[in-house]
Amino acid sequence: MKGFFEEFEARMKKQGCSGAAIRAFKHSYDSLLSGQTGFIPEETIQPVTSLPRLEDLPKTAIHGELLSQAVVVKLNGGLGTSMGLEKAKSLLRIKDDLTFLDFIARQILYLRQRYHCPLRFLLMNSFSTSADTKAFLKKYPDLGNPDSLELMQSAVPKVDSASLKPVNWPKNPELEWCPPGHGDLYPSLLGSGWLDRLLGDGVKYMFVSNADNLGASLDLDLLGHFASSGKPFLMEVCERTTSDRKGGHLAARDGRLLLRESAQCPEKDTPAFQDIQRHRFFNTNNLWVRLDRLKELLDQHGGFIPLPIIKNVKTVDPRDKTSPKVFQLETAMGAAIECFNDAGAMVVPRTRFAPVKTSTDLLALRSDAYEVTEDWRLMLAPARHGIPPTIDLDPDHYKLVDQLDAKLAGGVPSLLECQELTVRGPVLFNSREIFKGKVSIINRATQPIPLPPGEYRDVVENLG
CATH of the domain at 457: 2.160.10.10
User: Where is 456: in which H helix or E strand?
Assistant: strand 454-463
Report residues of the chain scoring pLDDT below 50: none
Q: What's the one-letter identity of residue 215?
A: G
Tell me which residue range forms the domain holding 52.
Answer: 5-352
Q: SS3 for 29?
A: helix
Q: Note the pLDDT of residue 4.
A: 92
Q: What residues are paired with 73 via a beta bridge?
A: 122, 208
Specify whether 209 is located in the same domain as 346.
yes
Specify whether 301 is located in the same domain as 390.
no
Q: Cβ of 197: how many Cβ atoms within 10 Å?
A: 12
Q: SS3 for 220?
A: helix
Beta-strand ranges (E) seen in 36-194 are 70-76, 93-95, 98-99, 120-125, 150-152, 156-157, 159-160, 177-178
Given the DSSP bridges, would you call strands 205-210 and 325-330 parallel, antiparallel or unpaired? unpaired
Specify whether 260 is located in the same domain as 384.
no
Specify whether 326 is located in the same domain as 382.
no
Q: Note the pLDDT of residue 1.
A: 55
Specify whether 336 is located in the same domain as 413.
no
> What CATH number is given to the structural domain containing 220?
3.90.550.10
Quote the CA–CA distance of 438 and 41 in Å, as a whole number: 41
Show Cβ contacts of residue 228 under 8 Å, excluding neighbours closer than 6 positions: none
Quote the CA–CA distance of 356 and 214 in Å, as a whole number: 8
The domain boundary, picked from 299, 329, 352, lies at 352
Specify whether 71 is located in the same domain as 193.
yes
Handedness of CA 253, 216, 288, 102 (dihedral sign): positive
HSE value, Cβ hemisphere, 13 Å, CA-based, for 293: 18
Q: What does DSSP assign to residue 213?
A: B
Q: What are 388-436's pLDDT values in tens digits?
A: 899 999 999 999 999 999 999 999 999 999 999 999 999 999 999 999 9
Q: Note the pLDDT of residue 2.
A: 65
The domain boundary, picked from 310, 325, 352, lies at 352
Specify whether 307 is located in the same domain as 197.
yes
Q: Note the pLDDT of residue 211.
A: 94
Q: What are 215-259's pLDDT values in tens digits?
A: 899 999 999 999 999 999 999 999 998 878 888 899 999 989 999
Contact 128, 88 (CB under 8 A): yes
Q: What does DSSP assign to residue 407?
A: H
Q: What does DSSP assign to residue 339?
A: T
Show Cβ contacts of residue 222 under 8 Å, excluding neighbours closer than 6 positions: 54, 57, 234, 236, 288, 346, 348
Specify whether 294 is located in the same domain as 404.
no
Count structural domains, the chain: 2
Q: Cβ of 1: how many Cβ atoms within 10 Å?
A: 8
Quote the CA–CA distance of 441 and 138 in Å, as a whole number: 42
Specify whether 374 is located in the same domain as 337.
no
Of the chain, the end-to-end C-alpha distance in Å amounts to 65
Quote the CA–CA distance of 450 and 430 in Å, as a whole number: 8
Q: What's the one-letter identity of residue 39?
A: F
Q: What residues are paired with 371 via a beta bridge?
A: 379
The domain boundary, picked from 352, 385, 402, lies at 352
Quote the CA–CA distance of 400 and 407 in Å, as a whole number: 11
Q: Note the pLDDT of residue 318.
A: 87
What are the CA-CA distances from residue 336 to residues 20, 184, 190, 340, 452 (Å)? 16, 11, 15, 7, 53
What are the CA-CA distances from residue 28 to residues 135, 300, 309, 329, 416 (Å)? 34, 17, 6, 7, 47
Q: Cβ of 392: how many Cβ atoms within 10 Å?
A: 13
Chain Cα centroid distance, residue 52: 23
Contact 377, 215 (CB under 8 A): yes
Specify whether 28 is located in the same domain as 99.
yes
